[in-house]
């Protein structure tokens, strides 16, 4: 697939939402972070998704984040707004506000906590996708939502003209292969450590968290895969394993990414909103040890 045919870019970072020391959204830091990520190789950004702590943001904060990032890098990278919730009407209203900002896409997570039937999942996504003309990326993450998007449901959703992509955090390669073989949906790895295998079977890119801290290396990984250079891709993938471990397994991704960005001098603090908390000393030591394996000393 030519780069021009990939709708949202091939390397997207699911951005953290920076906060000031007193807990307010720091839009200036968000804009600076967006510029850094794009300068280092991202051609897309997801704003206020899971890693952006969307569940603890007010709608006004979400929309202001969309605007801040669009103002900073719009035209240089695709801006995908996290507008999915477990309330269909709320998702519709937030999606409409995102459309007014002029984002390039909407990320819609499977409704969580409610545990709807597959018919309910389909109806929810179709209702939100029909509310604007903005292209939609479905977010299949049963570990957080409690339910998967079934293959049959996804194939039916693929018939909707605005539903164009999937962020997969389910890790079912057989299911993903079946959907890609029978639809035009563009798949993205939603698991940083599975980028190589996902792209090997047809995914177009990654929506990542580890990409905050080693953006250029992920750009190199994806470029190697797209060029068909398997040995180079494997070598970079092995190199990235301890960084993925540091960012994705010790504490929640938003917490780890902010902590590492603070160590790197990119963010002035690692503030998160409850119920998230900053790493304990023991957790921070584990993250440092993982990063040290990759030659990153903090």
Residues with a catalytic annotation lie at 139, 167
Residue 250 is classified by DSSP as S
Say which residues have a Cβ less than 8 Å from residue 151's Cβ, sequence separation at least 6: 175, 178, 179
Closest by CA position to 128, among listed 110, 102, 153, 148: 110
> Cα–Cα distance between 138 and 121 in angstroms, integer?
11
Contact 73, 91 (CB under 8 A): no
> Cα–Cα distance between 95 and 132 in angstroms, integer?
7
> Any idea how long the chain is?
298
Backbone angles phi, psi at 272, to 5 degrees: -130, 170
* b/e per residue 105-134 (b: at least 16 CB within 10 A): bbbbbbbbeeebeeeebbebbbebbebbeb
Q: Where are the alpha helices (DSSP H) in the chain?
A: 27-39, 59-73, 88-101, 118-129, 142-145, 151-157, 173-182, 195-200, 215-226, 230-248, 253-263, 281-293
Closest by CA position to 26, among listed 284, 264, 205, 262: 262
What residues does 20 pair with on adjacent strands?
none
């Amino acid at each position: 697939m030519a780069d021009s045919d990939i709708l949202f870019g091939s390397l997207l970072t699911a951005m953290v939402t920076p906060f000031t020391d007193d807990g307010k959204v720091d839009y200036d830091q968000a804009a600076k972070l967006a510029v850094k990520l794009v300068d280092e190789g991202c051609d897309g950004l997801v704003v206020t998704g899971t890693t952006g702590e969307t569940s603890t943001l007010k709608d006004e904060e979400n929309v202001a984040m969309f605007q801040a990032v669009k103002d900073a890098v719009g035209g240089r990278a695709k801006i995908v707004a996290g507008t999915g919730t477990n309330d269909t009407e709320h998702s519709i209203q937030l999606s409409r506000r995102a459309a007014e900002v002029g984002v390039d896409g909407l990320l819609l997570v499977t409704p969580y906590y409610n545990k709807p039937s597959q018919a309910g999942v389909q109806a929810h996504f179709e209702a939100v996708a029909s509310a604007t003309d903005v292209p939609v990326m479905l977010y299949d993450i049963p570990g957080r939502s409690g339910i998967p998007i079934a293959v049959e449901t996804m194939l039916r959703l693929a018939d909707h003209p605005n539903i164009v992509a999937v962020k997969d955090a389910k890790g079912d390669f057989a299911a993903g292969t079946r959907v890609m073989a029978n639809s035009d949906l563009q798949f993205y790895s939603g698991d940083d450590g599975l980028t190589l295998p996902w792209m090997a079977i047809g995914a177009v890119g990654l929506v990542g968290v580890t990409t905050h801290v080693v953006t250029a290396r992920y750009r190199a990984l994806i470029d190697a895969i797209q060029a068909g250079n398997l040995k180079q891709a494997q070598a970079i993938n092995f190199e990235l394993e301890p960084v993925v471990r540091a960012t994705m397994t010790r504490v929640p991704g938003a917490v780890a990414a902010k902590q590492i960005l603070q160590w790197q001098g990119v963010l002035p603090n690692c503030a998160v909103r409850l119920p998230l908390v900053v790493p304990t000393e023991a957790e921070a030591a584990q993250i440092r040890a993982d990063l040290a394996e990759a030659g990153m000393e903090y």
